[in-house]
Chain A
Amino acid sequence: MPASFAEFLIRRLFGFIAVLLVLSLMIFVLARVVPGDPARMALGPAASQAQVEAMRDQMGLNDPLPIQYLNFLSGAVQGDFGRSLISGRPVTQEVLALLPATLELVLATLFLMLLFGVPLGVLAARNQNRWPDTVLRLVSLIGVTMPAFLAAILLQLFAAYYLTDWPILGRMERGIGAPTGPTGLLTIDGLLAGRPDVTLTALQYMLFPAIALALSGIAQIMRITRSAMIEHQRRDHVQTLRSFGVPERVVTFRYLLKLSSVAPLTIMGLEFASLIGNAFVVEMVFAWGGFASHGLESILQKDLNAVMAVVMLSGVFFVVANLVIDIIIGFIDPRLRLREGR
């Protein structure tokens, strides 16, 4: 790997660590700003003042703030976010148990976004201003004008009314005996355990939630791909190839596509945060049981520790996703890899 690319990645990595640090600081501050006494909330109104005081000591709430932050941070790095104020169980455990569900949903969504977003964008660009383009743009508008929760509700309604026996809640059929390991992703686990029926059922349950989540993303990717391709179509290098008789479709699908794929990938990275946010709501509507809907409930119930864990986890998701995307872009676009001293 050329040194300039390594430097680029290292810089990004440091940036992301900084992001996570500042994020943790922000959540911490927010948590301490919340009115109400976390100790009181944990013990309930019936506890005596002395008990609350003892709890406060135990929770470290009487230490000076910087110390509290450092404790929080060291705990966070080790994966310990304390106990849920609602359920009493360790937050990390609860969240991690629910992680695979959300992960699977998000991966499915990303897959849909790329599967539909990019080809449709290319199609629209090739037929710029002709009828396929107009149709596609109208279709993409659906994605952009419908909030995820609404899409979720409507799809659920559609499934309930027009599709017999189609699941509308949850992630897996009860009693089917789905394997619980090793990845936690039901589709993959099903295949690994030799149970294709599990995989198919998982996909069936996942279809509508993923569509609801993906709509907005598909529309955006389609738009970005389209405008990137149109932009690059104007450039001289396309003329060069055309002047030598290289067929249009080769120009489009090989040359332009590679060049135009950078923009949608970047957008996907940035949109990741919104994606997770929307996952919160979609999971809720479909009772998906992932950490996102759990996070939502925690927020609504003011379960501080859980909220902090969920937000940090979202941050980690974002950071990892963007790093992966940066690496992919680095492979696609040599200009990033090879900037010899800029």
Chain B
Amino acid sequence: MSVLTDHGDQTVVLSARRMAWLRFLSNPVAIIGALMVLSVLFCVAFAPWIAPYPTHAGGIVDFANRHQPPSVDHVMGTDKVGRDIFTRVIYGFRISLLLIVGVLGVAVPVGAALGLAAGYFGGRTEFLITGFTNVMLAIPPLVMALAVGNVLNPNLITAMFAIALLWWTWHARLIYRVAKSVAAEDYIEAARLAGASHWHILTKEILPNCIAVISVKSTLDAAFIILFGATLSFLGLGVRPPTPDLGSMVADGRQFLPEMWWGVLAPALGIFYATLGFNLLGDGLRDMFDVEV
């Protein structure tokens, strides 16, 4: 029992919310993560103004300058057709972010809806939903994504679709567990007794208790989606050239190893930076909310 709880009829010294903030702010690593994520978002929003050679994100070729090692002009060197890699990495972040938004935008609502329903209604609903979720969990996501992507035209949208198809299962599982334990609490029964509708209970009583978990998981997911998306585009599924994408840049650069090492290392650094940022932030959030994800 924490010391900072109520003493008889007095009120508490520190609210849980303040303590959560204090936890976050006293965690330097989390703050670094937050800053990193913010910088990535900044790049995404202001790419045309930040990137040194905005046109290189498109179909420009400049054979005279191909395979230049990193220099003052080209911080990360140039690729096989002479485009500035640093610019393309920044633009690559855009694709990554689009992917994140696209996948989470589908996976989170679907996963949450199914998880809530399974946890609250129980019985047959629970059985069916958890059964279905368990089946989906057995499928190697990469295989599924590739299979689906291959069947349909390989582009960003299909990649998003393919990933989201399996991603919702993790959210559903997580929220199912939280919803189930919340649904067993006294205050939910009290709400039922007060005549509250199922919709009210799901959205206003149970869901708010899941927000913490959803936030943490989504942040950590962002990191995973970047990795996963990079793997997919490394294998050929994803955006078509000349749109810059971190994974396909690695694939391209790989052909010229080891002499043109910057071709692989630069996008790798990009992947690393963005993923690290989201991971640190996610960890910080997890400590702050004190949840199990």
A contacts, CB < 8 Å to B: 15, 18-20, 22-23, 26, 30, 33-35, 134, 137, 141, 144-150, 153-154, 157, 160-161, 227, 231, 270, 273-274, 276-278, 280-281, 295-296, 299-300, 302, 307, 310-311, 314-315, 318-319
A157 touches B257 (CB 8 A): yes
B258 touches A148 (CB 8 A): no
Known: A145-B279, A150-B250. A314 touches B143 (CB 8 A): yes
Known: A146-B272, A161-B258. A296 touches B151 (CB 8 A): no
For B271, the chain A residues whose CB sits under 8 A away are 145-147, 150
Q: A311 to B141, alpha carbons, bound, how many Å?
A: 11
- A-facing residues in B109-148 (Cβ within 8 Å): 131-132, 134-135, 137-143, 146-148
A310 touches B138 (CB 8 A): no
For A148, the chain B residues whose CB sits under 8 A away are 231
Decide if B41 is an interface residue (CB 8 Å cutoff): no
A18 touches B147 (CB 8 A): no
Q: A113 to B154, alpha carbons, bound, how many Å?
A: 34
B258 touches A274 (CB 8 A): no
B138 touches A315 (CB 8 A): yes
For B258, the chain A residues whose CB sits under 8 A away are 157, 160-161
Known: A22-B135, A33-B151. A277 touches B234 (CB 8 A): no
Most buried by B among A147, A149, A160: A147
Q: A296 to B237, alpha carbons, bound, how many Å?
A: 12
Residue from A160, A296, A315, A319 in contact with B235 in the complex, judged by beta carbons closer than 8 Å: A296
Most buried by A among B134, B138, B261: B138
Closest A residue to B228 by CB, please name it. Answer: A147
Residue from A15, A19, A147, A311 in contact with B231 in the complex, judged by beta carbons closer than 8 Å: A147
Known: A19-B135, A270-B137, A319-B138. A144 touches B275 (CB 8 A): yes
For B135, the chain A residues whose CB sits under 8 A away are 18-19, 22-23, 26
Number of B interface residues, CB 8 Å?
Answer: 41
Decide if B188 is an interface residue (CB 8 Å cutoff): no
Q: A277 to B140, alpha carbons, bound, how many Å?
A: 5
Decide if B230 is an interface residue (CB 8 Å cutoff): yes
For B134, the chain A residues whose CB sits under 8 A away are 15, 19
B227 touches A277 (CB 8 A): no
Instruction: Pull 16 A–B residue pairs with CB atoms less than 8 Å apart, ordered by A.
Output: A15-B134, A20-B138, A134-B29, A141-B276, A145-B227, A145-B271, A145-B272, A146-B272, A147-B231, A150-B230, A153-B250, A153-B257, A273-B137, A274-B141, A281-B235, A311-B147
Decide if B150 is an interface residue (CB 8 Å cutoff): yes
Q: A141 to B276, alpha carbons, bound, how many Å?
A: 7
For B29, the chain A residues whose CB sits under 8 A away are 134, 137
Decide if B66 is an interface residue (CB 8 Å cutoff): no
Decide if B239 is an interface residue (CB 8 Å cutoff): no
Q: A18 to B133, alpha carbons, bound, how many Å?
A: 12
Decide if B264 is an interface residue (CB 8 Å cutoff): yes
Decide if B236 is an interface residue (CB 8 Å cutoff): yes
Q: In whole Å, how far is A29's beta carbon from the nearest beta carbon of chain B?
A: 11
Q: In whole Å, how far is A172's beta carbon from the nearest beta carbon of chain B?
A: 24
Q: A171 to B275, alpha carbons, bound, how many Å?
A: 31
What does the 1/0 interface line of B233-259 toward A look like (CB < 8 Å)? Answer: 011100000000001001000100110
Q: In whole Å, how far is A183's beta carbon from the nearest beta carbon of chain B?
A: 24
Q: In whole Å, how far is A40's beta carbon from the nearest beta carbon of chain B?
A: 16
B234 touches A281 (CB 8 A): yes
Decide if B206 is an interface residue (CB 8 Å cutoff): no
Q: Tell me whether chain A's interface is mostly helix, strand or loop, or mixed.
A: helix
Closest B residue to A30 by CB, please name it. Answer: B147
Residue from B131, B148, B236 in contact with A18 in the complex, judged by beta carbons closer than 8 Å: B131
For B283, the chain A residues whose CB sits under 8 A away are 137
Decide if B34 is an interface residue (CB 8 Å cutoff): no
Q: In whole Å, how far is B291's beta carbon from the nearest beta carbon of chain A?
A: 10
A277 touches B275 (CB 8 A): no
User: Which 6 pairs across A and B sit closest by C-beta, in order of nearness?
Assistant: A277-B142, A277-B140, A145-B275, A147-B227, A318-B138, A22-B135
For A296, the chain B residues whose CB sits under 8 A away are 146, 235
Q: A139 to B272, alpha carbons, bound, how many Å?
A: 13
For B150, the chain A residues whose CB sits under 8 A away are 299-300, 302
For B151, the chain A residues whose CB sits under 8 A away are 30, 33-35
Q: A310 to B144, alpha carbons, bound, how many Å?
A: 11
For A227, the chain B residues whose CB sits under 8 A away are 292
Most buried by A among B140, B142, B279: B140
Decide if B268 is an interface residue (CB 8 Å cutoff): yes
B139 touches A273 (CB 8 A): yes
Decide if B104 is an interface residue (CB 8 Å cutoff): no
Decide if B288 is an interface residue (CB 8 Å cutoff): no
B276 touches A274 (CB 8 A): no
Q: A276 to B151, alpha carbons, bound, how many Å?
A: 21
Q: A274 to B143, alpha carbons, bound, how many Å?
A: 9
For A314, the chain B residues whose CB sits under 8 A away are 138-140, 143
Closest B residue to A274 by CB, please name it. Answer: B141
Q: A160 to B261, alpha carbons, bound, how many Å?
A: 13
